[in-house]
Amino acid sequence: MINLGSYLGISFALFICGILVMIARKNIIAILLGIELILNASALNFAAYTKFSNNNLDGHILSLFIIVTAAAEAAVGLGIVIRFFQLRESIHIDDAASLQN
């Protein structure tokens, strides 16, 4: 039951859920939730590949750095959201389109 295929399937499903959340939501924080899902999917993939190939833990290191990066990304991303909210009183993604033209 625990094999590469099932792990790839789970991470695939996570990835698709992440994309659905990213596109369907109009709330910036909700979009960030989707991004976290996608990052988790990729980290899971790395760990699974390490386990089912040579188990030399390089994949774990990569997953670790993905987690680290995701945390940093969340910090900065939410910081931007909060700043945006202070300026615009909204966290609707369509209000963040003032860079047009």
Partner 1 sequence: MSTFNLDVYMPVVILIALAMLVAGGSLLLGGLIRPHNPNKLKETAYECGEEPIGSAWANFNVRFYVIALVFIIFDVESALMFPVAAVFKKFTQIGLGGTLLVSVFSFVLILVAGLVYCWKKGDLDWIKSFHSQANYAKKDK
Partner 2 sequence: MFTNTLFLLSAALTLGGAIAVVYSQNLMHACIYLLASFFGVAGLYACIGADFLAATQLVVYAGGVVILMLFAIMLTGGTGNNINRYGLEKIAAMGNKKTYFFAGITAILASLIVLKIIANVLKDQSTTAVITANAPTVERIGTLLATDHILAFEISSVMLLGALIGAAVISRPRKERHD
Partner 3 sequence: MDYTFWTIAPIVLLPFFAFVINAFIVKKFTKLAVAISTGSIFVSFLFALRIFFDFMNVYSVGYHIHKVFPWFNLSSGSHVFEVKMGIYIDNMTSVMLLMVTGVATLIHVFSTWYMHDDPRFGRFFVYMSLFTSAMLGLVLSDNLLSVFIFWELMGFCSYSLIGFYYEKEGAGNASMKAFMTTRVGDVFFLLGILAIWSVVGNVSFVDIYNAIAAGKFNGLTISVFSIGVPVATLAGFSIFMGTMGKSAQVPLQVWLPDAMWGPTPCSALIHAATMVAAGVYLSLRMYPLMELGHLTTFIAYIGAITAFGAATIALIQTDIKAVLAYSTISQLGYMVLGIGVGSYNASFMHLITHAVFKACLFLSAGSVIHSIHCQEMPQMGGLRKKLPYTFFAMLLCCFAIAGVPFFSGFVSKDRILGDALVMAFNNPVYIPVALLGFGGALLTAFYMFRMLFLTFLGEPRDHHIYDHAHEEHLGWNSNIPLLILSVFTLGLFYSGSFTGQGEVNLFGSRNEWFSTLIHKPDAESLHHYAEYKSEDFGDVDTRDKLELPKAEYDPNHGMSEEVAHHVHYIHHVGAIASVIIAFAGIFLAFSMYVKKSISADWWAQTFVGWRRALQNKYYFDDLYIGKIIQKGLIPFNNFLAWFDMGIYDKYGVDGWAAVNRFAYTVSRWFDNTVIDSGMVDGTGWSVRAMNTILRWVQSGKIQLYFIVLIAVLAGYVWKLSF
Contact residues for partner 1 (CB under 8 A)?
A: 64, 67-68, 71-72, 74-75, 78-79, 82, 86
Give per-residue burial for 61-94: e unless 16+ CB within 10 Å, then b: ebbeebeeebeeeeeebeeebeebeeeeeebeee
Considering the complex, what minimum distance in angstroms separates the CB of residue 88 from partner 2?
7
Residues 39-58 that bind partner 2 (CB under 8 A): 40, 43-44, 47-48, 50-53, 55, 57-58
Query: Is the CB of 13 or the CB of 80 nearer to partner 1?
Result: 80
